[in-house]
Structures are given as structure tokens and as C-alpha cells.
């Protein structure tokens, strides 16, 4: 007899029901392409036929700001790799194998972590299960030989059906139950339920049909060997609800949808203004194509003569201005005006520095959540290996967000200032190198070359100013 009822297995957490529509909208907004066009993101006109609506969907371009924002965040977060001290795990024979193939599907640990971060950015959270194959071996040596070790499985929120956190005596919250949708095909679902005591796997027919009476079939059950649910929740930004995070796209996706509809209006306006509509009576042979001739009877009533309706394109500039305002709004809510902004929209001075500080704060918060999640992963990995994780994971606290064009201009002025100091000249040269080169190894070589090269005191390489004549001695 099944331990869990059908009602329990098909049930969803209250927060799941509340957030599912948002998760789907954010995912489709990130993916773009046909999934976005075939959705209901394009507002329908009154009296518009299905054929007209589908045609307008196919003709409307997508400016995918959601994907761009997520990718920029990810690029900054992983530009400098985290510092990992594995502690006593450094001597684990299977550590290297896990780092190279963390999910048993060929992806490295770094790639898995990066995918988790991208999913968290889209959904607000991303879940991971650190499991170990239940294979009986004669010895630890055989286990190593067969590469039986922990691995990571990633679960996006729509596949995490139910969960429960309980506060322990020490004040911390512990995950006490977790229900996962492992597979869904032809409405046949595979559900895995984790508890502190055991792990149960079920098959359920008619999964999406709430009225169905088909009972679940228990296909596997085993004890939970580590006494806790090996689940890690990576938050993008925490909310007031356990297991629910705040997506980077909660405002961006709506603005992108609005821009998408503005582009549709532009396409319609261009089509109508370039291809005017001909109004005529049925008994008049006429067309509105280029070079066409309209023949009318000489005695035709002037009120019945064909005429052209050609909408004005004057509103095009207004729509384009509206789109730019919405793009600027996206840049503000994501603190990416300095990164995504055009030359006309990028501010300078204090405003630019403030933008950098806000973006750095957002990235630093994300890095903290990544650090916490990764340390949790390593703790669970160690527990599966009958060890304890005593290492430390450190992600960058600050990110190199600078206006390099302004920096180079400033350094150029400093280089030409005439300060009589060999040390000053060399330090300016090093800063110039850092504004151009990002690779730490190359920068170290450049620093060594700068220090090794003697420089006559007071002589600086001053760039020539256009129109300035060089005086001869």
C-alpha cells in the first residue's frame, strides 16, 4: 500500500500555486523566440480575426531585454572565479571526478553552479539535490573504482511541487519534506518524495486531472541514509516566504512585453502608411498598387468615386520615444544604465558612480547567496562521503565596475602632469594597463616589465594635442 495518497502527491504548495504563472511568464520572457511569439504577450485588437492576430504575432520582432539582463549579471558574477578551500575534502579520492562531472551528465561543477544562478535570476530561486546512487559495494575501494559518488540534480521551481520547513530548537529552519516532479510524459508523472527518514518514488497516471481516481504506484522506497533532505536552495533575492525568491525579471518582463506591443504598432504603422487602403464600390475596376490605373464611368456620381486611405506616419517618433523611455526604465530597475545605456543616455560624474555602487550592491548580494549555497553543497557532498566539510568558499565582494573611458582620460592627464617622480610614472602606467587588460597573469607580467624598465625622472610620454606645434630647442 502506498505511503502517500494521490491527493498528497498531486498537491502543490500554496506558494507554488501563487507563483506558477509568474514563473512561466519570466521563463518565456527570457527564452524569447517562438515560445514568446506564440504566447498571449501581444495585445489583441477589437474585432481582430485569428488569422490577422497570428500574422501580427509573426511579424512583430522581439527585443529580448530579459535575457540580456540575466546574462550581464551572470557575466559579472563569474568574471572572477570564487576562491575555494576544500579543507579536509582535498584528500577525497572522488573530489576531482565530482568537479569535472558534477551532474553525471558531463557538466563541470562550475557550469552547474552557473546554471543554478541563471535559473535563480529567472525564477527567484533554484533548487538542487545532492544525491548518491544507491549501489551496494563491498568496500570503499570498489566504490572509488566504480565512481559511485554524490552528484547534483537541478530543479527549477515548477518541478518542486511541495515543501515544508520547520523551525528547530536552535532557531534554524530545517527542510522536513520535499516533493519533486521527476518526469512527466503523456500525463504519466514520476514523483519523488523526500523525508528525513526515507525516499519514496511513485508513478501516477492522469497527473494533471484533479478528478481522476487512479491510485499512485510505489516503484521504489529506501531509507534516507544521511538523516536530512539533501536539498540546497539558491536564492536570487529572498522574500518573506521560505523557498520563494524574487526574480530579476519581475519588473523587466512587463516592460519588455510593453515594448513588444509598441513594436507591433510600429510594424502596423509602417505597413499601413506604405500600403494605403483603397475604398471603392463593387462595380468599379480599381487597384492601389504602384503605377495602377483606375478607370471610372464618365457619369459616375462623385460621391462613389474610389479614394485612398493612407494613415500618417507622424506618430512613429512618439512610439520610438516611448520605447526608449521603457528601455531607460529597465536600465534603472536593474541598475545597468552604465552598462546597457547608449552614449546619449549614459550619465557621468556622481550619477555614474552612484549607478556603479547600486549595481555592485546587487551583485554582492547575489554573490553572498551563491557562497552560502555552494558551501551547503560541499557540506552535503562531505556528508555523503562520511566526512565533514571544514573548508571555505569565497565569492568576490566587490566587482570591477568602472567607466574605463573616463579612467583613461584621467590617467592621460595624470601622465602629462609633469610630476617629477619615477614611482608616480610607473604607478600611472600600471593603472593604464588595468583599464585595458583584465587577465591577472598578463597584468602581473606587465607590472614586472614596468618596474624593470628604467625611466629618466621627469620625462613623460605626453600625447600630442591636435593643432599644437612642437617647439624646437
Q: pLDDT per residue over 187-216, tens digit each?
A: 999 999 999 999 999 999 999 887 888 899
Residue 223 has pLDDT above 50, yes or no: yes
124 vs 417, higher pLDDT: 124
SS (H, E, C) 261-320: HHHHHHHHHHHHHHCCEEECCCCCCCCCCCCCCCCCCCCCCHHHCCEEECCCCCCHHHHH
pLDDT at position 80, please?
Answer: 87
Does one domain contain both 230 and 142?
A: yes
224 vs 467, higher pLDDT: 224
What mean pLDDT is reported for the chain?
85
Residue 217 has pLDDT above 60, yes or no: yes
pTM of the predicted model as reported, rounded to 2 decimal places: 0.80
- H/E stretch holding 84: strand 83-85
Tell the residue number behind the cell numbers 553572498, with chain if given: 368
d(CA 376, CA 150): 14
Does one domain contain both 377 and 427?
A: no
d(CA 471, CA 387): 75
Does one domain contain both 447 and 369?
A: no
Does one domain contain both 377 and 453?
A: no
Tell whether 354 is covered by a domain: no
Burial of 377 (0-12, 13-18, 19+ CB in 10 A): buried
315 vs 52, higher pLDDT: 52
Tell whether 265 is covered by a domain: no
Tell whether 333 is covered by a domain: no
Does one domain contain both 162 and 105?
A: yes
DSSP 380-418: HHHHHTT-----EEE--SS-----HHHHHHHHHHHHTS-
Tell whether 319 is covered by a domain: no
Q: Which of 383, 410, 430 is the last residue of a domain?
A: 383
Average pLDDT over residues 289-295: 52
Q: Which of 331, 356, 383 is the last residue of a domain?
A: 383
Helix (H) and strand (E) counts in the chain: 15, 12
pLDDT tens string 310-327 = 555 567 888 999 999 999
Does one domain contain both 377 and 439?
A: no
Does one domain contain both 370 and 454?
A: no
Does one domain contain both 370 and 431?
A: no
d(CA 258, CA 264): 10
pLDDT band at residue 9, thresholds of 50, 70 and 90? very high
Does one domain contain both 70 and 162?
A: yes
d(CA 246, CA 299): 72
d(CA 235, CA 314): 47
Q: Which of 351, 383, 415 is the last residue of a domain?
A: 383
pLDDT band at residue 362, thresholds of 50, 70 and 90? very high
Residue 303 has pLDDT above 60, yes or no: yes
Does one domain contain both 66 and 140?
A: yes
pLDDT at position 323, please?
Answer: 94
Tell whether 57 is covered by a domain: yes
Tell whether 449 is covered by a domain: yes
Average pLDDT over residues 427-451: 80
pLDDT at position 236, please?
Answer: 97
**Which residues touch 227 (CB under 8 Å, ≥6 apart)?**
196
pLDDT tens string 232-247 = 999 999 999 999 999 9
Does one domain contain both 142 and 234?
A: yes
Number of domains in the chain: 2
Does one domain contain both 415 and 371?
A: no
Burial of 464 (0-12, 13-18, 19+ CB in 10 A): exposed
Query: Domain range holding 156?
Result: 6-250+364-383
Tell whether 258 is covered by a domain: no
Tell whether 393 is covered by a domain: no
pLDDT at position 366, please?
Answer: 97
pLDDT at position 84, please?
Answer: 96
pLDDT at position 457, please?
Answer: 47
**Least confident stretch, 100-114, 237-251, 396-410:** 396-410
Amino acid at each position: 500500500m502506498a505511503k502517500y495518497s494521490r491527493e498528497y502527491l498531486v498537491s502543490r504548495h500554496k506558494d507554488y500555486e501563487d507563483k506558477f504563472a509568474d514563473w512561466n511568464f519570466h521563463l518565456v520572457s527570457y527564452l524569447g523566440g517562438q515560445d514568446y511569439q506564440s504566447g498571449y504577450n501581444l495585445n489583441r485588437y477589437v474585432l481582430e480575426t485569428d488569422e490577422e492576430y497570428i500574422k501580427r504575432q509573426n511579424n512583430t520582432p522581439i527585443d529580448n531585454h530579459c535575457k540580456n539582463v540575466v546574462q550581464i549579471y551572470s557575466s559579472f558574477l563569474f568574471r572572477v572565479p570564487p576562491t575555494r578551500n576544500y579543507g579536509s575534502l582535498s584528500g577525497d579520492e572522488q573530489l576531482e571526478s565530482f568537479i569535472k562531472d558534477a551532474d553525471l551528465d558531463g557538466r563541470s561543477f562550475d557550469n552547474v553552479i552557473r546554471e543554478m544562478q541563471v535559473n535563480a535570476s529567472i525564477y527567484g530561486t533554484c533548487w538542487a539535490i545532492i544525491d548518491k546512487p544507491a549501489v551496494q559495494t563491498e568496500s570503499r575501494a570498489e566504490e572509488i573504482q566504480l565512481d559511485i559518488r554524490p552528484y547534483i540534480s537541478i530543479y527549477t521551481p515548477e518541478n518542486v511541487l511541495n515543501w515544508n520547513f520547520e523551525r528547530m530548537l536552535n532557531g534554524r529552519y530545517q527542510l522536513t519534506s520535499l516533493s519533486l516532479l521527476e518526469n512527466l510524459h503523456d500525463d504519466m508523472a514520476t514523483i519523488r518524495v523526500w523525508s528525513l527518514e526515507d525516499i519514496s518514488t511513485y508513478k501516477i497516471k492522469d497527473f494533471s486531472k484533479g478528478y481522476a481516481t487512479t491510485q499512485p504506484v510505489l516503484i521504489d522506497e529506501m531509507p534516507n541514509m544521511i538523516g536530512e533532505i539533501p536539498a540546497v536552495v539558491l536564492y536570487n533575492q529572498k522574500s518573506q516566504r521560505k523557498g520563494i525568491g524574487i526574480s530579476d525579471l519581475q519588473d523587466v518582463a512587463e516592460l519588455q512585453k510593453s515594448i513588444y506591443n509598441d513594436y507591433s504598432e510600429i510594424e502596423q504603422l509602417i505597413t499601413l502608411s506604405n500600403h494605403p487602403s483603397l475604398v471603392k464600390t463593387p462595380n468599379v475596376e480599381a487597384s492601389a498598387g504602384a503605377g495602377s490605373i483606375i478607370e471610372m464611368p464618365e457619369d459616375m456620381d462623385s460621391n462613389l468615386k474610389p479614394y485612398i486611405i493612407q494613415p500618417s506616419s507622424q506618430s512613429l517618433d512618439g512610439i520610438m520615444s516611448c520605447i526608449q523611455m521603457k528601455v531607460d526604465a529597465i536600465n534603472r530597475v536593474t541598475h545597468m544604465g552604465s552598462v546597457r545605456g547608449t552614449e546619449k543616455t549614459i550619465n557621468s560624474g556622481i550619477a555614474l558612480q552612484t549607478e556603479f555602487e547600486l549595481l555592485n550592491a546587487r551583485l554582492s548580494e547575489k554573490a553572498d547567496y551563491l557562497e552560502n549555497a555552494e558551501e551547503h553543497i560541499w557540506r552535503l557532498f562531505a556528508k555523503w562521503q562520511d566526512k565533514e566539510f571544514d573548508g571555505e568558499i569565497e565569492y568576490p565582494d566587490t566587482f570591477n565596475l568602472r567607466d574605463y573611458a573616463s579612467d583613461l582620460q584621467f590617467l592621460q592627464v595624470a601622465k602629462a602632469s609633469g610630476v617629477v617622480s619615477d614611482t608616480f610614472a610607473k604607478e600611472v602606467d600600471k593603472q593604464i594597463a588595468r583599464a585595458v587588460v583584465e587577465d591577472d597573469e598578463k597584468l602581473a607580467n606587465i607590472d614586472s616589465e614596468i618596474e624593470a624598465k628604467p625611466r629618466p625622472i621627469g620625462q613623460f610620454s605626453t600625447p600630442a594635442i591636435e593643432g599644437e606645434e612642437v617647439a624646437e630647442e
